[in-house]
Structure 1
Amino acid sequence: MDAIRERLLDDRRRTQRRLGELTGDFREIVEASRATNADDEHDPEGATIAFERSQVATLVQQAERHLTDVGEALARLDAGTYGTCERCGRPIAAERLEIRPTARTCVSC
């Protein structure tokens, strides 16, 4: 279980770093759009700025969700329920947990 915990903690550290980078990217995009006199609706470059802002915002949300998933996996590890399917109660295959350590359900469920 120590190896699993370390893997989850490492995943959390990497995701936190990535979230920091994405948050910085998002701020830069917002600041750049404020610095210009771009009208997203009428400026040909405006659509690109809006798309970039939306894309980075989506990546930020995904990273935040992943951090929540990792936190919940660590809580399951502490509770002794890590690796048990939340739907059927059967063990989650080691291969699935290797690929997706935050998995809450078995492949069947």
Structure 2
Amino acid sequence: MDEHAAMELVERARSETAHLAAALARQRDEIVASSEFTSGDDEHDPEGATIAFEREQVQALLRQAQDDLAALGQAAERVRAGVYEICERCGGPIAEGRLTALPATRTCIACANRR
């Protein structure tokens, strides 16, 4: 894969992940805003546990999206450094199909399977 194709792959994934993160942040904000109109007592409010669960679930998904954005930023740096297709563990090649499926991956399949 040439540098241009690799950067395009990473940038497309970053764009999609940034849109997802923005949507999750809006969803989290909506949950927080809607919970302002309910009782602050999650333990005794029948809807409280559901709201708390939804808020934590969306927050966890948002954290994952933010982590993915950071990993994709590192992937872009690896593209610029010319080491995008090189496994960080063994120094061998990372298959193009693996990079297409997981643009932020840093390891080849063999090293990933050793974990």
TM more than 0.5: yes
Cα distance between partner residues in 1 of 2:29 and 2:5: 36
Cα distance between partner residues in 2 of 1:82 and 1:42: 52
Percent of aligned positions that are identical: 48
Cα distance between partner residues in 1 of 2:99 and 2:86: 10
* Aligned-residue CA RMSD (Å): 1.0
| SS of residue matched to 2:100 | helix
Deviations 1:31-85 (A, max 9, x none): 1111212421111111100110011001100100110111000000001110101
Unaligned residue ranges in structure 1 (runs of 5+): none
Query: Residue in 2 aligned with 1:62?
Result: 64
| SS of residue matched to 1:37 | coil
Query: Residue in 2 aligned with 1:12?
Result: 14
May I ask how many residue pairs the two structures share in their alignment? 109
Unaligned residue ranges in structure 2 (runs of 5+): none
96-105 vs 52-61, which deviates more?
96-105
Q: TM-score, normalised by structure 1?
A: 0.94
How far did residue 2 of structure 1 move?
0.9
| SS of residue matched to 2:30 | helix
8 Å contact from structure 2 (residues 39, 45) kept in 1: no
Cα distance between partner residues in 2 of 1:24 and 1:2: 33
Cα distance between partner residues in 2 of 1:11 and 1:98: 10
8 Å contact from structure 2 (residues 9, 100) kept in 1: no
Deviations 1:10-37 (A, max 9, x none): 1111111111111111011011111212
2:90 maps to 1:88: yes
Runs ≥4 residues deviating over 3 A: none
The residue type paired with residue 38 of structure 2 is T
Q: TM-score, normalised by structure 2?
A: 0.89
